[in-house]
Structure 1
Amino acid sequence: MRPRHRTPRLLGSLLLVAAAGISVAGAAPVAGAAPADPPAAAKAATPLDRVVPAPASVDAGGTPYRITSGTRIRVDDSREARRVGEYLADVLRPSTGYRLPVTSGGGAGIRLKLGATSLGAEGYRLDSGKSGVTITAKGPAGLFHGVQTLRQLLPASVEEDSVQPGPWLVAGGTIEDQPRYGYRGAMLDVARHFFTVDQVKRYIDQLALYKVNKLHLHLSDDQGWRLAIDSWPRLATYGGSTQVGGGPGGYYTKADYKEIVRYAGSRHLEVVPEIDMPGHTNAALASYAELNCDGVAPPLYTGTEVGFSSLCVSKDVTYDFVDDVIRELAALTPGKYLHIGGDEAHSTSHEDYVAFMDRVQPVVAKYGKTVVGWHQLTGATPAKGALAQYWGLDSTSAEEKERVAAAARNGTGLVLSPADRVYLDMKYTKDTPLGLDWAGYVEVRRSYDWDPGNYLAGAPGSAVQGVEAPLWTETVSTSAHIDYMAFPRLPGVAELGWSPASTHDWDAYKVRLAAQGPRWEALGIGYYRSPQVPWPAE
């Protein structure tokens, strides 16, 4: 079943409240609550080209399909297709009140079909007409992404937890769709402020709606260590005991982390865990004195400054520590990537930084993972196949940009996260009650109106593997805060990662984005009502 992770709606920009409790949508309709099927003429169907991210190809036309009490969800006789079918049923049942049985075989209704397509592992084809809707994909990820499109083609009230009047129309026509980039990520910083497993699951559900396929978890920083490591237990029990402002902090047991990984996988997101080093390590240094060059553990830190901490690069115990942490983390992580941070190591000399990265990157490979690092990694020698995550600004020096571009020309892949475009913790305007402004103010248009393919001068477009929207949490401590800072900017970043460059147009996008507002309200997502977006009248 699909947990319906909700928070109360924000009443204006100043009412930033904690997340509400979680309820679970049942597999059967509320007794006696299913309404009689309303006339199809009561509402118009959502146009096929009104979804976010914009599909690669739309051929609209024909009679809409109407979901009724007789609709069945028909799936291939495979476990993967059935899982996607059950997910779809759990989305639709509470609001429609219909039973929507998930069955094998053909026939009318909603059909989820695994089959040969030319649309890649994540692409799909959606065909809609009077007799039904068929989603065809090469793999289960494509089926799942097709289901997200189907959700957006239905009225926003389909997201409600209680029975709604409908009608449930899907416009006629065909969508053929596949992603521009294979890496479409969002980062959640759980180190500055800790977020529970259920809060992370709630964010995963929001990311899945917009076809994001990577969840980057920032698991360690100066303010907290958030994952239990058996060989170094004080990292979590002591290093995880606080957070920004001095709150209680917290950490994930290995079972907790496995549950996040499992849940993300059920939504076709890959978890990319990050242990930031050699800087941003005060929580580790406070937990184990021997990791410090002077053998003296500093106190726990609850502020927000950066750049003051460093592992002791010259000590052998540092690399025993790194090996143990990476070994245990890699064993818990089925995905391809492991992020080793590497940013803002201001208290580590350049020579020590290079020496550290030269020793640590092979450890990642030894445990079967591919290195991801912040773009400062290009100041050392990135490992073969490594990804550099660029977080510079328009104002970043030409020298630093060229160093990253040169690494890209030499084979290092790029994930683009320019801070003055897609850092979701930046204030929208000077009046935003949350967030920071060191990278400037980032309104919705600014976060959307750039092209990853030609953003970094001198870097070949083929080096760009995708985009990621980081959400740092110095000022963010509740799910309501996440909602407010991520929405409406996150869907635009997701579109940059998914949609063809030819679809990129702010004036068209802002209309499609505005249509998402009622859906967020139905989902309990309290968002920032940017004046740049023509939201429906309240």
Structure 2
Amino acid sequence: MTRLLSRLLLIAAITLQGAYVSAQTNASFPLIPYPASLEAGSGTFSITPRTTIQADAGFENAVAQLQRLMKQALGKPLAAAAKGQIVLRKDETITAAEGYRINVSASQVVLSAQTGAGMFRAVETLRQLLPLAVEKRTASAQRLQVPALTITDEPSYAWRGLHLDVSRHFFSIQYLEKLMDLMALYKMNKLHLHLTDDQGWHIEIKKYPALTEKGAWRTFDKNDSACIRQSKENPDMAIDASHIIKRDGKTLYGGFYTQEQIKGLVKYAAARYIDIIPEIDMPGHMMAAIHQFPNLSCEGGSKWGELFSTPICPCNEGTYEFAENVFSEIIALFPSEYIHLGADEVDRKTWAKSPACTALMEKEGLKNTAELQSYFVKRMERFFQSKARKLIGWDEILEGGISATANVMYWRSWVPDAPVIAARNGNHVIMSPGNPLYFDNQPDANSLSNIYKFKVVPEKLTAEQASFIIGAQANLWSEQVPSEHRADYLYFPRMLALAERVWSKNLDYAAFQQRLPAHFKRLETLKVHYRLPDLSGFTAQNVFVDQAVLDIKKPLPDLTLHYTTDGSLPQFSSPALNKPLIITKPLTIKLAAFSPGRTRGDIYTLQYKKEAYQAAVQTFASVKEGLQCAYYKKYYLNTGGMKTSEPDSQFVAKDLVVPASVNAPSFGLKYTGFIDVPETGVYSFYFLCDDGGVLTIGDKEVVNNDGQHAPIEKSGQVALQKGLHPFTLDFIEGGGGFSLGLKYSVGNSPVAEVPDSFFKH
């Protein structure tokens, strides 16, 4: 028995030691995405100006990338030799299309792959192992150290995408190239460009020059006005002046890509093994085109309806002639096997009133306008197939029936069965749900975790059905992204979390967090205007009885914190917050973190008010668990709308989880009762909602997170005596999926979910 116990203890010790070594390895090699297998070796390999390189045929792009990095770091590229010290070797045993191996010893670096894509991914991994000198065009290092190791790697998913809407706001070719450089660094391989929409047509079509001569330009719209207002507090929200012109006495915004520019961009992408997926969105989102060619719609012209614009008409042959002419030029420019048709958010009312559509529906046996839209999509797909291309559409293409060969891009988080239906039908699916993969949604402290832990494959699918989920993509819609700095801020570091989620085999969010700071330094060197980590330890609305202490633990040691108390925006020259700040009187503080390169993080506005403890109400003998909840089946712009409405029903809720019985597409909920706090203190509440919500305790509005918006967490404080306090939480959902959560802390306690036991009525 003693001998057996000793053996078991030895095995346990070896197992624990292995786990510890694995964790240590993960932290010691801050690679993102983390490879499938990494074994640390002994020693390092030194790259100097005398190091030589040898490459097998077919790896020219990888060699060019490696030499560019060497020239930046060492001042010149490496010399080629028959027996190089850095070897790029073709290996037929590596079967994955983007798979590779890296072996670094003290005497040699060997990169192995079967394909050019795999070798390029290997070079980008090596790049992350090298010092930041490889990113500096003015560096002249004498020696670059590479740690000895062995890596075997391949991606989990074939589709690892980013999307950029260049229609609502326009982006330069130089920015697209910069974005693809960063995508390549993190092994992303699909760039989806949303080239046209109601607000502008931004790619040259030679057969229809009016599309860009006039359709690429517009006067400022309501989103521009919103950006201009926000730019007073945030310079990133200023509209890029390089896309503004004066014409006929008007100020116009816009721009477009010439076909020659697109050819160069496609070549740039191909050298980095990135496919550019063009999207010409139709039949909806076509106002910019219809304004130039009014007969494209059933009624002539286009205008805004309740939600969307008038679409093109699928019942006139002229529509298909136009669409095929446009896509013929698009297909000639973009070699990608995929062409995105869009086909989302279509207002079909004009079709229902069109005699031509009535006749076509009768002829084709179509029962409704959803099937008419499907007719349009299927007809366009046949055209794409005649050009040896595959169609992608947003998940609305499922509604009127879908061909077996169409590809579905899932975005509507509030239709969770859409990807399940598509995969079961045998359609390939790209996952890009609005929550968490719409990067135009404001990032917060939960964003990286939500992306990293996102389930790419829906749980309802079998293993066979799961094979039809080919990957995931983050989308950046640009209504309120008026500058390249703002785009950088919204992409990074969220793209890094997605990159690891869709590439890596073994996911570990804690380890990812340990590796991330090294990449902030690399992004800074690459002049990426990334979002700094969140600051914590405070709420937006703060109260104190005697005094408050603002004591922030910096999320990264090399950040500096600066603040103001006069209402001005914090600058690097503003007072530094390098020790706890004692607050004894009402005060408004503006606070921001700064990176070593003086990149400014989010600006936090903290309001401090002095209050007495709110008195608890008398305990009622009849108090019961839970809250009363009134349910309103109506669309509201904000929670105030419920004040003048009668609820459709009422029920008792034991918690703040929206029950399945609340299933109206748009609704409001009013939770009322008491919150039973266990001790006297200053309570902080963190209210997450999508869309809007307001939390009131006693007679005080504690958190105002109202209005129609994506998931956002806002916070506030209230001083409470022990006992029962009147509690009201208003919540609205406008349509498109919702989030609702309430957390709290008291004093210096950790933040936690509000226990159900706190709620009484």
If the TM-score is normalised by the length of the shorter chain, which range does it land in? 0.7 to 0.9
Q: Which residue of 2 aligns with 1:404?
A: 419
Displacement, 1:236? 1.7
Displacement, 1:383? 3.0
Query: In 1, distance between residues paired with 2:164 and 2:306?
Result: 19
Q: CA offsets, 1:395-422, max 9 Å, x none?
A: x1xxx33243122111001101111112
Q: Which residue of 2 aligns with 1:207?
A: 183
Q: Which residue of 1 aligns with 2:383?
A: 363
- The 5 A counterparts of 1:150-161 are 150-161=126-137
What is the RMSD of the two structures over their aligned residues, measured on CA atoms?
2.4
Displacement, 1:536? 4.9
Query: In 1, distance between residues paired with 2:128 and 2:167?
Result: 33
The secondary structure found in structure 1 opposite 2:417 is: helix
Among 269, 289, 313, the alignment partner of 1:284 is 289
Q: CA offsets, 1:431-483, max 9 Å, x none?
A: xxxxxxxxxx9622212222313467679321110111111111112221121
Q: CA offsets, 1:142-192, max 9 Å, x none?
A: 110001100111123421222255752111110000011111111111111
Q: Which residue of 2 aligns with 1:326?
A: 327
Displacement, 1:387? 1.5
Among 514, 518, 523, the alignment partner of 2:521 is 518
Among 59, 65, 68, the alignment partner of 1:87 is 65
Structure 1 residue 106 corresponds to structure 2 residue 127? no
Among 68, 74, 79, the alignment partner of 2:54 is 74
Q: Which residue of 2 aligns with 1:508?
A: 511
Contact 1:125 1:177 in 2 (8 A): yes
Q: Which residue of 1 aligns with 2:74?
A: 96
Contact 1:401 1:456 in 2 (8 A): no
Query: In 2, distance between residues paired with 1:449 and 1:46?
Result: 18
Q: Which runs of 5+ in 1 are unaligned?
A: 1-44, 430-440
Q: CA offsets, 1:304-331, max 9 Å, x none?
A: 9952231112211111111111111111
Q: CA offsets, 1:82-137, max 9 Å, x none?
A: 3321221112322333x3325252232x2212221334121110000101211110
- The 5 A counterparts of 1:328-407 are 328-347=329-348, 349-393=369-413, 396=414, 400-407=415-422
Q: Which residue of 1 aligns with 2:32?
A: 52
Q: Percent identity among equivalent residues?
A: 34
Structure 1 residue 270 corresponds to structure 2 residue 248? no
Among 116, 125, 145, the alignment partner of 1:149 is 125
Query: In 2, distance between residues paired with 1:456 and 1:272?
Result: 29
Q: Which residue of 2 aligns with 1:11?
A: none
Displacement, 1:223? 0.5
Query: In 1, distance between residues paired with 2:490 and 2:153?
Result: 28
Higher relative contact order (CA 8 A, sep 6+): 1
Closer/same/farther in 2, CA of residues 285 and 508 from structure 1, 3 Å limit: same
83-92 or 137-146, which deviates more: 83-92
Contact 2:282 2:312 in 1 (8 A): yes
Displacement, 1:428? 1.2
Structure 1 residue 311 corresponds to structure 2 residue 326? no
Structure 1 residue 473 corresponds to structure 2 residue 478? yes
Closer/same/farther in 2, CA of residues 356 and 507 from structure 1, 3 Å limit: same
Query: In 1, distance between residues paired with 2:142 and 2:32?
Result: 22
Query: In 2, distance between residues paired with 1:205 and 1:305?
Result: 40
Q: Which residue of 1 aligns with 2:442?
A: 427
Q: CA offsets, 1:250-305, max 9 Å, x none?
A: 1111111111111110111011100111111111111111112222365xx9xx99
Closer/same/farther in 2, CA of residues 364 and 48 from structure 1, 3 Å limit: farther
Among 100, 115, 120, the alignment partner of 2:91 is 115
Structure 1 residue 139 corresponds to structure 2 residue 140? no
Displacement, 1:48? 6.8
Closer/same/farther in 2, CA of residues 104 and 307 from structure 1, 3 Å limit: farther
Q: CA offsets, 1:481-504, max 9 Å, x none?
A: 12111000001111121111xx21
Contact 1:234 1:287 in 2 (8 A): yes
Query: In 1, distance between residues paired with 2:371 and 2:401?
Result: 12
Q: Which residue of 2 aligns with 1:65?
A: 45
Q: CA offsets, 1:15-58, max 9 Å, x none?
A: xxxxxxxxxxxxxxxxxxxxxxxxxxxxxx99774200110111
Amino acid across the alignment from 2:383: V
- The 5 A counterparts of 1:432-451 are 443-451=447-455
Amino acid across the alignment from 1:499: S
Amino acid across the alignment from 1:443: S
Q: Which residue of 1 aligns with 2:172?
A: 196
Query: In 2, distance between residues paired with 1:162 and 1:306?
Result: 52
Contact 1:219 1:226 in 2 (8 A): yes
Closer/same/farther in 2, CA of residues 223 and 258 from structure 1, 3 Å limit: same
The secondary structure found in structure 2 opposite 1:524 is: coil
Query: In 1, distance between residues paired with 2:389 and 2:193?
Result: 16
Query: In 2, distance between residues paired with 1:170 and 1:260?
Result: 32
Q: Which residue of 2 aligns with 1:464?
A: 469
Structure 1 residue 127 corresponds to structure 2 residue 132? no
Structure 1 residue 239 corresponds to structure 2 residue 215? yes
The secondary structure found in structure 2 opposite 1:248 is: strand
Contact 1:378 1:404 in 2 (8 A): no
Q: Which residue of 2 aligns with 1:438?
A: none
381-390 or 278-287, which deviates more: 381-390
Query: In 1, distance between residues paired with 2:421 and 2:519?
Result: 40
The secondary structure found in structure 2 opposite 1:516 is: helix
Q: Which runs of 5+ in 2 are unaligned?
A: 1-24, 225-250, 350-368, 536-553, 560-761
Contact 2:493 2:530 in 1 (8 A): yes
Q: Which TM-score applies when normalising by structure 2? A: 0.59
Q: Which has the larger radius of gyration?
A: 2
Closer/same/farther in 2, CA of residues 354 and 172 from structure 1, 3 Å limit: same
Query: In 2, distance between residues paired with 1:323 and 1:461?
Result: 34
Query: In 2, distance between residues paired with 1:104 and 1:250?
Result: 47
Amino acid across the alignment from 2:528: I
Query: In 1, distance between residues paired with 2:479 and 2:306?
Result: 10
Displacement, 1:74? 2.0
Q: Which TM-score applies when normalising by structure 1? A: 0.82
Query: In 2, distance between residues paired with 1:252 and 1:365?
Result: 26
Displacement, 1:379? 1.3
Contact 1:127 1:172 in 2 (8 A): yes
Closer/same/farther in 2, CA of residues 347 and 412 from structure 1, 3 Å limit: same
258-267 or 166-175, which deviates more: 166-175
Structure 1 residue 257 corresponds to structure 2 residue 245? no
Structure 1 residue 228 corresponds to structure 2 residue 228? no
Closer/same/farther in 2, CA of residues 138 and 102 from structure 1, 3 Å limit: farther
The secondary structure found in structure 1 opposite 2:145 is: strand
Query: In 2, distance between residues paired with 1:281 and 1:527?
Result: 33
Query: In 1, distance between residues paired with 2:493 and 2:142?
Result: 26
Query: In 1, distance between residues paired with 2:396 and 2:426?
Result: 16
Query: In 2, distance between residues paired with 1:305 and 1:514?
Result: 46
Contact 1:517 1:536 in 2 (8 A): no
The structure with the greater share of residues assigned to strand is 2
Contact 1:74 1:85 in 2 (8 A): no
Amino acid across the alignment from 1:528: R
Contact 1:390 1:414 in 2 (8 A): yes
The secondary structure found in structure 2 opposite 1:328 is: helix
Query: In 2, distance between residues paired with 1:528 and 1:352?
Result: 44
Query: In 1, distance between residues paired with 2:283 and 2:196?
Result: 11
